Structure 1
Amino acid sequence: MVLALTWPPVTHAAPLRVISLAPHATELAYAAGLGPNMIAASAYSDYPKPAQSLERVANYRGVKLERIIALQPDLILAWRGGNPPKPLETLAELGFHIRYLNPEKLSDIGRFIRELGRYSDNKAMATRNADAFDNKLMQLKQQYRSAAPVPYFYLLSDSPLMTASDRAWPSQLFHLCGGENIFADSPAAYPQVNMEQVITRAPKVMFHTGDTQPRSWQSLVELLPDYAHTFTWSLNPDWLTRATPRALNAAEQICTALDKVRHAQ
């Protein structure tokens, strides 16, 4: 279930001071026109470029609680599941204003941009970016609504061999383009699998992230009997895994790949 947010009236005389504790939240804040208000962010908040110069107050190990308190932000953007709960509970008890940005559907991205825009002095920018995202998403949905399904395998990790089920965020982007996840029914969001399972389920296309092919790729090439008709594609990891407007860039990469498979069949 998507977290329902309530957004109080925005009444601040001085410029709002905003901290983001997740890369996707940072990008959403900038898309909503809050760039001038950002004073700190999490590690890997590298887009857009101005975010790279922000002070780092969080990473995968935790958050710098004392530093966040010292910075006295008016608004903290957090991520349930990505940020440890106890420091955030402490910040809430101290009276800090925390908003959790936990998109579960692609359509949540535009919604969050609009909602964050209520805190922005550039509300027109938030509306413009949200509209652009929603329009592009609708276009892709209409274009691929009746597309023939293509079985795919997404390699998340090479050692151990891991993928993403339909419970994981990236699967929405594949599904949007008519991709059929060969591990859709796994009870885990990011299951560990083995080579035999991949071969038995016979994907027509395989995806990975980064510029180099994983070590296991050659084994799949040799063992998949129909590999001559199978394609491999590298995807931009930030586009694929972050719930931001750039997610649709990953969708376009995926749609292009799946179309090539369809045309080759």
Structure 2
Amino acid sequence: MTTGATRTFFLCVLLALPAMVNGAAPATRIVSLSPHLTELAFDAGAGPGLVGVVEYSDHPVEARMLPRVGDAFRIDRETLASLEPDLILAWAGGTPTATVEQLRRDGYRVVMIETGDPEEVAAALEKIAELAGTEDTAAPLAEAFRAGFSELRRRFADRPPVRVFVQISPRPLYTVGAGQIIDSVLTTCGGRNVFGEIEQLAPVVTDEAVIAADPQVIIAPSAAAEDVLTRWHKYPGIAAVRSGRLHIVEGDLLSRQSLRLLEGAREICALLDEARDGP
């Protein structure tokens, strides 16, 4: 082998090492089974490799043009097969276990992605990039995301706690419990989720329970705007109602475990700080 050929050979080996170490070549035909994983895949630089997504995968706009393989509860196995994916991204805690098991029995490579708190979101971005061979794209974004949350934790670590009720939906009255990522964001901002001790991700509560908890701030996603501006006004005894601290936030900034979570966290932190400084 000539010197030039030898150099070329070893260069090729070096370039292939990440895939060889991980036991698989970078994925080039990826299907995402959750809207937030779709978003993270685009952020990670794996967007060109996405060939299928589930319903409500609408960010970024490029995601809206991709074929749908189902939704959170149902997978169209025929459509999925036609896309010939070499990797399926599933949401740990969200994609039904039965769905994952069936896909694996069908011979698909399914990787479970955890996104239960901000650190896991950053790690998920890095994991998807590793699977797609796009680490250089994801690394600075993950670093900036972690730094942003570290700054928020530092800034609000010693601020007085603020009691917060998060209304996910009005009927039934769903809120967030322990282990939900919004609960983690509230903690980052020095907030105290008034239902944070319930060991359910999305418990149903009553108006009477909210009155008893006496939140200083009530937050609801934009989809619940009309309700949050009206239903609580009949309870003037609640601190949040007395002070007018009933806030609407863009739902996707909090409900989707993506890099946009940092933007949502900054908004929540600002709202809680206003409650500390206000009457």
Is this a same-fold pair by TM over 0.5? yes
Contact 1:199 1:224 in 2 (8 A): no
Structure 1 position 62 matched with structure 2 position 74: yes
Contact 1:65 1:87 in 2 (8 A): no
Structure 2 counterpart of 1:146: 158
Aligned length: 257
Displacement of 1:186 in angstroms is 2.0
Q: Which moved more, 1:216-225 or 1:236-245?
A: 216-225
1:128-158 Cα distance to aligned partner (Å, 9 max, x none): 2111111111111111111210001111111
Find the residue that maps to 1:184 and give its secondary structure.
coil
Find the residue that maps to 1:19 and give its secondary structure.
strand
Q: Distance in 1 between matches of 2:82 and 2:50?
A: 15
Structure 1 unpaired stretches of 5+: 1-6
Structure 2 counterpart of 1:245: 259
Structure 1 counterpart of 2:94: 82
1:27-48 Cα distance to aligned partner (Å, 9 max, x none): 1111111011011101111111
User: Which residue of 127, 132, 139 maps to 1:127?
Assistant: 139
Instruction: Compute the RMSD of aligned alpha carbons.
Output: 2.0
Q: Distance in 1 between matches of 2:101 and 2:223?
A: 40
1:158-185 Cα distance to aligned partner (Å, 9 max, x none): 1122211223221111111011111122
Larger Rg: 2
1:182-210 Cα distance to aligned partner (Å, 9 max, x none): 11222332222221221122111100111
Q: Distance in 1 between matches of 2:198 and 2:262?
A: 25
Contact 1:114 1:127 in 2 (8 A): yes
Percent of matched pairs sharing the same residue? 28
Structure 2 unpaired stretches of 5+: 1-20
Segments of 4+ moved more than 4 angstroms: none
Q: Distance in 1 between matches of 2:133 and 2:179?
A: 36
The answer to which structure has the higher helix fraction is: 2
Q: How does the TM-score come out when normalised to structure 2?
A: 0.85
Q: Distance in 2 between matches of 1:182 and 1:209?
A: 17
Structure 1 counterpart of 2:246: 232
Residues 212, 184 of structure 1: alpha-carbon distance in 2 compared, 3 angstrom cutoff: closer
Q: How does the TM-score come out when normalised to structure 1?
A: 0.89
Structure 1 counterpart of 2:215: 203
Find the residue that maps to 2:196 and give its secondary structure.
coil
Q: Which moved more, 1:171-180 or 1:226-235?
A: 226-235
**Within 5 Å, which residues of 2 pair with 1:80-119?**
80-119=92-131
